[in-house]
Structure 1
């Protein structure tokens, strides 16, 4: 007779790989066999976010659990610290000590993320001992000593630095020189002290770089980026911030034949006389990049904190240059100017599978009519807009209307919920609903999506 105690452990681990969160903890309480099978999955990722911080120290942190049970450390592959509990406006020293002890035990870490400005020197010391560490994301507001210690990590493949200080940026060329054999993706977010000279020196060490994302760095705009990408001819993913500048585009244009993912962070301002508008900058930038004949799979554009409409002319240029290859389109904090433009995108983009846009609940009929022009659209993501007044939430009858009018649609994500299309044995439309997982690894909005 088969029971939990005589099922092969490899089979149990395979079954439990489909579970996450509280389900894993519940399964571990069933029996000793289940506990043994679930431990590798349960401790694969040590995640600590705001909801955990609110309950600390009443609820033990995952780092304290590993420190108390060192045998679990062998299973840890990912560490993700998104929030640090505080005491009297200071980070809790007990929590930081728990983290440091756990990091010292976890020898098999492949990714480490600390997205808060709380990186003790002992954290960096622990990371230096991790030979398998390939993915690193840090809040980069570091001292000179911390920055120099960090540059000893030479095996990084994917590096993300948020809010990096001048101390760290000045050492970036030296650091990239040690990582040139491994680094494939470099992301610099909101590094106000980064300038074109330093970034150029760093990129000169990375001719084989595949992903470059420089967003919110005030001294490096799209013109600077287009000059610098001459160092990285094999780029597949590129993100940059545009500005309303009168500086000319590079001539001749940089060659980017391998580019597949493009993200633009459009900064709005009050342009001086003779400076181009944001709309004309976007159009000129798209035309400039298209001269390399890249086959874009993904295009993302964002207007920070504004509700702007993309012009019909810009949408037309996007269609004429990349209609046959685009699979993912994301319009963040902006609107597609007219229903005709949306219809044109759905008709001409014959490979489109994923669309991120604000769903106009009040004009859902016209919106659904435009989407119905696509026979390939599978996923629709409702993008939250930065508006002063709340907008209606997508309800089940409106979801049903979208699924009915757009036969190719399989998934709608809106307001923390995932709606899916299903059919019963009589071929009648059924709608599934689940909460959007809150434990998924957060990524920057400009990073390439999984198609």
Structure 2
């Protein structure tokens, strides 16, 4: 008699790869064969976030589970520590001990993330991970701690958040060790980083594909263009703007491979006739266009205030990159007019994903503008309090159905912590879709923080 228990274990593992979260836990309780098939997926990622910390130690941490069952440690590939429980203003020593023991037991870790300032106890264990390739850490470290950390020589994707001067001073030494492996370097809020150190570090990385330097007080867009001469193969670049009037290298630095560009706009005093940030954005776009890059992704973010992207900038973006752009993000800002939005949607013939603030009160006119796109598949509502001081209406099912009826290619809308997906019922008597015939599915978006920085290239 054929039963699920007779199915080959490799087949079960392939099936269970499509499940996640509580579904994996439930599957593990069905039978011994299901338990064996689901274990590699269940323990592949050890994630600890705020919701777990609130219930600790009443609920066992995944690290304690590994310590109690060492036979499962071989399956662990990813460790993601987004918070650490606190006891009397200090990190819980029991939790730190559990984490350290678990890390010592897991030989196959390929990615490690520690988003809180609690890395030092784990540095020793990380030094033993020969397969570690992705590292993202809160890098507020001492010189001794930094010296131990930079012995990791096989990292491919390195992200240092809030890095101290101690590790920044050692960055050139570290990149020299990583020069044959490192493909992406991300430095976020490293206020002690300066042009001399960054230039020396990048000099060892001629094959670097991704550089993201955001929120670093001493590094602005002019500095970035001075140092990227060392990295001509860049495909992804993120930068923070600074004061206007800075001199750029001439002739313009060649970035022919650039595909993803992110600009974090910091406002500076400008002439009354020019909106804040417009000059810097225009200058950056003009400068990189000299290399004739084919941008696939463009992200721009303003500080916490309402700014309208001017039509001249939209036209500048369209004229150079309309045929290649697939992903556009406008964060903490709006497009100046619906005419600009319509022009963007009409011209960008490859556009698949658009992130912008959705004005629910003016949904009809904005939907008409969006309908000019014949390729748009995903629309993300970048909700921001800066657009209004009053609570705004929530995008409801009727609005979602209207948008999907007006934009035939639209498959997904993300708004207010919800993910709406198209489920269409075709009318056999009429090839055209009617709003009443469109069914939408709804699921809640995860409440924990994003796994990636906002400025990183978007992925579906």
TM-score class normalised by the smaller sequence: over 0.9
CA displacement at 1:441 relative to structure 2: 5.8
In the aligned structure 2, how far is the partner of 1:404 from the partner of 1:26? 37
| Residue number in structure 1 paired with 2:452 | 443
Q: Which runs of 5+ in 2 are unaligned?
A: 429-436
Matched, 1:97 2:101: no
| Residue number in structure 1 paired with 2:432 | none
Moved more, 419-428 or 85-94: 419-428
CA displacement at 1:192 relative to structure 2: 0.2
In the aligned structure 1, how far is the partner of 2:394 from the partner of 2:309? 24
CA displacement at 1:280 relative to structure 2: 1.0
CA displacement at 1:167 relative to structure 2: 0.2
In the aligned structure 2, how far is the partner of 1:181 from the partner of 1:246? 37
Matched, 1:399 2:408: no
Find the residue that maps to 1:375 and give its secondary structure. coil
State whether residues 416 and 435 of structure 1, in contact with CA within 8 Å, keep that contact through their aligned partners in structure 2: yes
CA deviations 1:389-412 (Å, max 9, x no partner) are: 322211111101100111111111
| Residue number in structure 1 paired with 2:77 | 77
CA deviations 1:353-400 (Å, max 9, x no partner) are: 100001110000100000110101111001021324322211111101
Going from structure 1 to structure 2, the CA distance change for 1:206 and 1:445 (only over 3 Å counts) comes to same
CA deviations 1:15-47 (Å, max 9, x no partner) are: 111111111111111111111111100000000
Find the residue that maps to 2:65 and give its secondary structure. helix
Q: Which runs of 5+ in 1 are unaligned?
A: none
In the aligned structure 2, how far is the partner of 1:83 from the partner of 1:26? 26
State whether residues 220 and 240 of structure 2, in contact with CA within 8 Å, keep that contact through their aligned partners in structure 1: yes
Going from structure 1 to structure 2, the CA distance change for 1:272 and 1:191 (only over 3 Å counts) comes to farther
Going from structure 1 to structure 2, the CA distance change for 1:78 and 1:184 (only over 3 Å counts) comes to same
CA deviations 1:221-269 (Å, max 9, x no partner) are: 0000011110000000000000123212221100000000000000013
In the aligned structure 1, how far is the partner of 2:444 from the partner of 2:82? 21
| Residue number in structure 2 paired with 1:356 | 355
1:431 to 428, 433, 440: 440
Find the residue that maps to 2:232 and give its secondary structure. coil
What pairs up with 1:149-164 in 2 under 5 angstroms?
149-164=148-163
Matched, 1:386 2:385: yes
In the aligned structure 2, how far is the partner of 1:2 from the partner of 1:440? 44
Q: Across the two proteins, how many residue pairs are aligned to each other?
A: 450
TM-score normalized by the length of structure 1: 0.97
Find the residue that maps to 1:177 and give its secondary structure. helix
Moved more, 244-253 or 80-89: 244-253
RMSD over aligned Cα atoms: 1.7
| Residue number in structure 1 paired with 2:433 | none
State whether residues 244 and 276 of structure 1, in contact with CA within 8 Å, keep that contact through their aligned partners in structure 2: no
Find the residue that maps to 1:413 and give its secondary structure. strand
CA deviations 1:275-302 (Å, max 9, x no partner) are: 9951111111101111100000000000
CA displacement at 1:7 relative to structure 2: 1.9
State whether residues 244 and 279 of structure 2, in contact with CA within 8 Å, keep that contact through their aligned partners in structure 1: no
| Residue number in structure 2 paired with 1:245 | 244
| Residue number in structure 2 paired with 1:219 | 218
What pairs up with 1:277-316 in 2 under 5 angstroms?
277-316=276-315
| Residue number in structure 1 paired with 2:417 | 416
